[in-house]
Amino acid sequence: MASIQELENTASQVRRDIVRMVHAVNSGHPGGSLGCADYFTALYFEILEHSTDFKMDGKNEDLCFLSNGHISPVWYSVLARSGYFPISELKTFRKIDSRLQGHPTTHEGLPGIRIASGSLGQGMSAAVGAAMAKKMNGDNKTVYCLHGDGELQEGQIWEAAMFAAHNKVDNLICTVDYNKRQIDGDTDDVLSLGDLRAKFEAFGWDVMEMDGNNMEATINGLKAAKIKTGNGKPICILMKTEMGAGVDFMMGSHKWHGVAPNDEQLADALSQLTETAGDY
């Protein structure tokens, strides 16, 4: 079991990877990736019961899905640093002939990815299907899925939410990256999400809240969610995060959703993030 300090160190290295990857190809999505660095680190280095010897069917393993696929840099970094593929491969992100496509995909055979995502709103349905298959197979492990909050504007999410509750898919923990920002601005300005807790509860989910940029709170929240599994309801975590968390000039607005830092900005960002495990 890793200490909170060790996990925070890992998250710092993951954040360095994110800004370096995005800078290197002058494209990609640093804001949401930085905001979810603590969540992914907690999940892969502490919570998931999984094997880095990747098998698509993931039988008797916990599974992780990313529905808001544009934050691929954080997932790729954590997958590499937890042993799914060589860390050096991070340098191929978004380049020609890479397994690290702009948005995650199974198409190039990258270990750790079980379905393509990027076109928003589709991940919950796939996670629900995978969770139902686990139940059919007598596999008692858990399925995790991460969503953007802006993504909840897609209708398919609510089809899936209704379906998961109706079918008592209680081996499923869907986390919402609740940073209240999307490409065009604040979610409240673009298309208000309203009372998300009330919405998910009305759909029949067990809803909890968690600070996603505090490692201890994230670990405790994910453990609490795990305890709630098996009680007849799917579980939703409203995870409060800050877009751009860890890099001061990327926080506080939506403008770093999908913009890469220039050389100067990269240097500034890296000066704020300790290199703890060696850059790729």
Give the residues lining the site for other proteins (CB under 8 A). Answer: 56-59, 63, 105-107, 114-119, 121-134, 136-137, 139, 155-156, 159-160, 162-163, 166-167
Structure tokens at 186: 């604040």
CB of 255 to other proteins, least distance (A): 27
Q: Which residue has the tokens 């609740």?
A: 178
**Amino acid identity for residue 246 in this structure:** G
Which long-range contacts (C-beta less than 8 Å, at least 24 apart) are formed by 85-90? 85/110, 85/111, 85/112, 87/280, 88/280, 90/17, 90/21, 90/280
Distance CA 264, CA 144 (A): 37
What six digits make up the tokens of 215?
Answer: 């490692």
The nearest distance, CB 31 to other proteins, in angstroms, is 23
DSSP 64: E
| Residue 150 CB, nearest approach to other proteins (Å) | 17
Side-chain-facing half-sphere of 46: CA atoms under 13 Å: 26
CB of 275 to other proteins, least distance (A): 35
Report the residue number, 113 or 215, with the smaller CB distance to other proteins: 113
Name the amino acid, one letter, at 139: D
- Choose between 129 and 185: whose C-beta lies nearer to other proteins: 129
Residue whose CB is less far from other proteins, 84 or 256: 84
Nearer to other proteins, 116 or 277 (CB): 116
Nearer to other proteins by C-beta: 47 or 165?
165
Least separation in angstroms between residue 230's CB and other proteins is 18
**CB nearer to other proteins: pick between 111 and 118:** 118
Q: How far is the CB of 116 from other proteins (least distance, A)?
A: 5
- Separation CA 150–CA 157 (nearest Å): 11
User: Cα–Cα distance between 148 and 165 in angstroms, integer?
Assistant: 20
Distance CA 58, CA 51 (A): 8
